[in-house]
A and B are shown apart, each in its own frame.
Chain A
Amino acid sequence: MPFGTACCAIEMMASAASKYDIARFGMERMSFSPRQADLMIVAGRVSYKLAPVLRRVWDQMPQPKWCVSMGACASSGGMFDNYTIVQGIDTIVPVDVYVPGCPPRPEGLIYALLMIQEKIKGESLAVPGLRAESAEAVGRPNLPPEAIELVTQPFGNSTGQNRVSGIEPSDALQRPRDRRERLLEHDD
């Protein structure tokens, strides 16, 4: 699910085009419908006007699903610390991988997608609550006030959010062992 808004979307297109060609990694199926997508790439700045749309698209994606925040603006607001730009999309949706750069190069995006693959390998369906959907919360972009307070904490927004629609604090979101850790383990 490419959610491209600004400059990063052009780099996302470049990664799909002939030179970088993410099809090499089996990722070429850009689904423009959230119903058939399992990964949302938010490429570019998100304004407050767009925020409910972003949340709605995320809610429309079926489980299991992951999210990549591509570029400085999506990750933190970037150079636009002003009245209209959301200061990091993790106040709206949970994010799995942040890609730094303004905009990141296609290599950066490809690396992020490989990291997602690593992360998926570390997740288990046996963890209860990790991807449970709450029927009332699905498809509702409007959050209750207390949930908003929760997600607009200044740091570490993602850790407070569950990946189910709506906000249900859960300890199921343990950070999977990352690639480096596991490689080191392998060395031993």
Chain B
Amino acid sequence: MSAPEAPAPYLVLSAPPREEGVESDPSVLAVREKFGDGVRDSRVDAVDCSVIEVDPRTLLEVLSYLKTDVDQAYDLLLDVMGVDLGGQRPIQVWYPLWSMKHGRRLRVVIHLPLTDLRVASVTSLWETANWLEREAYDMFGVTFEGHPDLRRILMPENYDEGFPLRKDFPLRGRFSRSEQTRRAMNRSREDIYSREELRMAGELEAEVPPDVKPEEATKEHGLDGEHMMINLGPQHPATHGVLRLVLELDGETVVRCIPHLGYLHTGFEKTCEYREWNQIVPYTDRMDYLAPMLYNIGYAQAVESLLGVQITPRCQVVRVLLSELNRIQGHLLWLGTTGIDLGAFTVFLYTFQERERVYNLHEAYCGARLTTSVTRIGGMLADLPAGWVDAMRDFANTLPDTLDEVERLLSKNAIWLSRTIDIGVMDAETAINFGLTGPNLRASGVAYDVRKARPYLGYDEYDFDLPVGANGDTYDRYMVRIEEMRQSVRIIQQALDRLPGGPINIDDPSIILPPKSDSMSSIDSMIAHFKLVMEGLRVPEGEVWSSTEASKGELGFGLVSDGGSKPVRCRFRGPSFVNLGALPRMVEGALISDLIAVNASLDIVLGEIDR
């Protein structure tokens, strides 16, 4: 762990403002010049990000150029997401990119006709594409050619009802409930383990030639005699939910770790296509229930950028306050559960005491402890209640004491040190390649934070540091999060000092409900209220891929609207889904006990991984 002001090896700039109507994005110009006909279209989306639509056949070349060329250097692949607009229209695949070096973003889009859903895989360029492409395959049936392991990732591997996010797939599935239950309950072992794993476990012994003795068996014949396969999860206290890991072990050393996801697949993205824009806010809570307001705020911000509205100054500061409160809350839970995993139970009790104080603040504001649903498109559910600011200030002033206490317990603790130092090391290059974001990336020494790189909610006006680690090990990830909580306290104190007066909601009855008192007394407000409730908020046609910094990393929302009251596509790019993709690499050659430490240090939340 280095000091917060340690120089970052990667320079992160914010993008310069662009002129209207003129193609000024150097990447678009360069790609157009180099690939000519390969580029079909280019435009700018609602968050001022350039979008290039390219020919699917040239995709790999374009992305390879964008990643490797010195002037482009788009080294962070943020997402691979499918979009089905319905009506037999082509399925789109979006590739949002970010260049650490130049501080620019770009979105590459391809259109695939339904008759030919094939495209080259980009796993050779980015490791992070592995899981993201598997998810797109799982949900849309897009075949990524050259992918090393193209299987379903969230749905069961033998799921035969189709591709859930296609428009022709019904919300409740193709089969009746009893048939779905019957299929679920009658799974055989072959459905739960992949062929490869069964071979590892020696279940498919027929594939080992009979003339080979067990002690001479090698990898090609299955598991060599010394190795053992164990199954960790999905019901295991140290997997932070229902993550399942299949491990190949040599003694206690992990040779290979194969995560199985989807045990908590909730169908958020499908369900949200059937909900109105404001009705989606409660769903965002339940993805990351450890820091729900960050998700509320990120979602509201994405929709507001589609609408092109600017929230009020008071609302901005309130959102900053709540964001940082929830960042602290998320990190506190991480600290407590990681403490339990590594045998420090006291920390759990300390951090939950602080979390109870956060819950009290939540309750005072919105009435709920966990599932807060605080934002509305264009504002918040209510203004801050009386006395809340003082309670918040009190919390911000006293939290560092608890952090000091926890640090006294852990930071120099011999057991803690020996279980975290040099465990699960990730260097900066690999971390970016795996698409890590948030504290996990910063612990590897990359000072990338959406709050600094693309400031939103006026984060550029606050004075705070980005803690970065030097070694990228589990201890650095711990220290970075501790320091981030202190920085959040700094932001909260500044926000409380500058909290402006004025309205919290924008003044537009077509977007946000008028005050209750008005709708009871004025006919205009009553009509606006009625229209908004009955018809729902209408969002103009458009698309956006907008991201904010959640407690776990970069949280992206990919939204497509056709001008109606419901989204056509509602994509959540969960940071822990991508972060977890690095786990198999991080634990190769480690001990099982280190696996627990590394997995804990990634700060995953299954609600948002499986969505």
Which A residues form the contact surface with B (CB < 8 A)?
A: 3-7, 9-11, 13-14, 17-19, 32, 44-45, 47-53, 55, 57, 79-87, 91-92, 102-103, 105, 141-143, 145, 148-149, 151-152
Partner of B266, one of A51, A53, A84, A141: A84
Query: What mask results when residues 313 to 356 of chain B are scored 1 for a CB within 8 Å of chain A, else 0?
Result: 00000000000000000000100010000000000110011011
Max chain B Cβ within 10 angstroms of own Cβ: one of A4, A83, A92: A83
Partner of A6, one of B170, B282, B607: B607
Partner of A18, one of B192, B235, B349, B359: B349
Partner of A7, one of B184, B265, B349, B370: B370
Partner of B264, one of A14, A45, A102: A45
Partner of A19, one of B177, B181, B356: B356
Max chain A Cβ within 10 angstroms of own Cβ: one of B186, B242, B349, B371: B242
In the complex, what residues of B have CB within 8 A of residue A47's CB?
262-266, 610
Partner of B181, one of A5, A11, A48, A50: A48
Is B172 in the interface zone, CB < 8 Å from A?
yes
In the complex, what residues of B have CB within 8 A of residue A84's CB?
155, 164, 173, 265-267
How far does the Cβ of A167 sit from chain B's closest Cβ, in whole Å? Answer: 11
In the complex, what residues of B have CB within 8 A of residue A44's CB?
264
Instruction: Determine the distance from Cα of A150 to Cα of B91 in the docked complex, in whole angstroms.
Output: 41
In the complex, what residues of B have CB within 8 A of residue A85's CB?
266-267
Look across to chain A and name the residue whose beta carbon is closest to the beta carbon of B285: A7
How far does the Cβ of B608 sit from chain A's closest Cβ, in whole Å? Answer: 10
Instruction: Determine the distance from Cα of A49 to Cα of B262 in the docked complex, in whole angstroms.
Output: 7
Is B462 in the interface zone, CB < 8 Å from A?
no
How far does the Cβ of A96 sit from chain B's closest Cβ, in whole Å? Answer: 20
Let me know if B283 and A79 touch, CB within 8 A.
yes
Instruction: Determine the distance from Cα of A49 to Cα of B187 in the docked complex, in whole angstroms.
Output: 9
How far does the Cβ of B253 sit from chain A's closest Cβ, in whole Å? Answer: 24
Let me know if B186 and A17 touch, CB within 8 A.
no
Let me know if B156 and A49 touch, CB within 8 A.
yes
Let me know if B185 and A141 touch, CB within 8 A.
yes
Let me know if A102 and B371 touch, CB within 8 A.
yes
In the complex, what residues of B have CB within 8 A of residue A81's CB?
171-172, 271
Let me know if A83 and B242 touch, CB within 8 A.
no
In the complex, what residues of A have CB within 8 A of residue B173's CB?
82-84
Instruction: Determine the distance from Cα of A84 to Cα of B173 in the docked complex, in whole angstroms.
Output: 8
Let me know if B170 and A83 touch, CB within 8 A.
yes
Instruction: Determine the distance from Cα of A9 to Cα of B264 in the docked complex, in whole angstroms.
Output: 13
Chain A binding surface, main DSSP class: loop
How far does the Cβ of A32 sit from chain B's closest Cβ, in whole Å? Answer: 4
Partner of A50, one of B237, B242, B270: B242
Could you list 28 examples of A-B contacts with CB < 8 Å?
Answer: A3-B235, A5-B241, A6-B241, A6-B289, A7-B286, A13-B337, A14-B355, A17-B352, A19-B352, A44-B264, A45-B266, A47-B262, A48-B180, A50-B263, A52-B187, A53-B235, A55-B185, A79-B283, A83-B161, A83-B164, A83-B169, A83-B267, A85-B267, A103-B369, A143-B186, A148-B186, A152-B178, A152-B182
How far does the Cβ of B172 sit from chain A's closest Cβ, in whole Å? Answer: 6
Q: What are the 7 tightest A-B residue pairs by CB atom distance, in nearest-first order?
A: A83-B173, A17-B352, A152-B178, A7-B289, A48-B184, A82-B267, A148-B182
In the complex, what residues of B have CB within 8 A of residue A80's CB?
266-267, 271
In the complex, what residues of B have CB within 8 A of residue A45's CB?
264, 266
Given A17-B353, A53-B235, A81-B172: A148 and B265 interface contact (C-beta under 8 Å): no
How far does the Cβ of B178 sit from chain A's closest Cβ, in whole Å? Answer: 4
Let me know if A49 and B355 touch, CB within 8 A.
no
Look across to chain A and name the residue whose beta carbon is closest to the beta carbon of B263: A50
Which B residues form the contact surface with A (CB < 8 A)?
A: 155-156, 161, 164, 169-173, 177-178, 180-188, 192, 234-237, 241-242, 262-267, 270-271, 282-283, 285-286, 289-290, 333, 337, 348-349, 352-353, 355-356, 359, 369-371, 606-607, 610
How far does the Cβ of B252 sit from chain A's closest Cβ, in whole Å? Answer: 20
How far does the Cβ of A88 sit from chain B's closest Cβ, in whole Å? Answer: 10
Instruction: Determine the distance from Cα of A46 to Cα of B294 in the docked complex, in whole angstroms.
Output: 25
Look across to chain B and name the residue whose beta carbon is closest to the beta carbon of A85: B266
In the complex, what residues of A have CB within 8 A of residue B285's CB?
7
Look across to chain B and name the residue whose beta carbon is closest to the beta carbon of A21: B349
Let me know if A11 and B172 touch, CB within 8 A.
no
Let me know if A19 and B286 touch, CB within 8 A.
no
Instruction: Determine the distance from Cα of A145 to Cα of B184 in the docked complex, in whole angstroms.
Output: 12
In the complex, what residues of B have CB within 8 A of residue A5's CB?
241-242, 263-264, 606
Let me know if A105 and B369 touch, CB within 8 A.
yes
How far does the Cβ of A5 sit from chain B's closest Cβ, in whole Å? Answer: 5
Let me know if B356 and A10 touch, CB within 8 A.
no
Let me know if B607 and A17 touch, CB within 8 A.
no
Instruction: Determine the distance from Cα of A168 to Cα of B180 in the docked complex, in whole angstroms.
Output: 21
Instruction: Determine the distance from Cα of A86 to Cα of B173 in the docked complex, in whole angstroms.
Output: 12
How far does the Cβ of B182 sit from chain A's closest Cβ, in whole Å? Answer: 4
In the complex, what residues of A have CB within 8 A of residue B349's CB?
17-18
Look across to chain B and name the residue whose beta carbon is closest to the beta carbon of A153: B178
Given A32-B236, A152-B177: A6 and B264 interface contact (C-beta under 8 Å): yes
Instruction: Determine the distance from Cα of A13 to Cα of B369 in the docked complex, in whole angstroms.
Output: 13
Given A4-B241, A82-B267: A49 and B370 interface contact (C-beta under 8 Å): no
Partner of A9, one of B184, B241, B282, B356: B241
In the complex, what residues of A have CB within 8 A of residue B283's CB?
79
Let me know if B155 and A10 touch, CB within 8 A.
no
Look across to chain A and name the residue whose beta carbon is closest to the beta carbon of B161: A83
Given A45-B264, A47-B266, A102-B371: A148 and B181 interface contact (C-beta under 8 Å): yes
Look across to chain B and name the residue whose beta carbon is closest to the beta carbon of A145: B182
Instruction: Determine the distance from Cα of A83 to Cα of B184 in the docked complex, in whole angstroms.
Output: 12
Instruction: Determine the distance from Cα of A17 to Cα of B192 in the docked complex, in whole angstroms.
Output: 35
In the complex, what residues of B have CB within 8 A of residue A53's CB?
234-235, 242, 263
Instruction: Determine the distance from Cα of A145 to Cα of B359 in the docked complex, in whole angstroms.
Output: 46
Instruction: Determine the distance from Cα of A48 to Cα of B333 in the docked complex, in whole angstroms.
Output: 28
Let me know if B265 and A51 touch, CB within 8 A.
no
Instruction: Determine the distance from Cα of A53 to Cα of B271 in the docked complex, in whole angstroms.
Output: 24
Look across to chain A and name the residue whose beta carbon is closest to the beta carbon of B156: A49
Let me know if A82 and B355 touch, CB within 8 A.
no
List 18 additional contacts besides A18-B353, A81-B171; criterion CB under 8 Å.
A6-B266, A17-B355, A18-B356, A44-B264, A47-B263, A48-B183, A51-B181, A52-B184, A82-B267, A83-B180, A83-B270, A84-B155, A86-B184, A92-B185, A103-B370, A141-B185, A143-B182, A143-B185
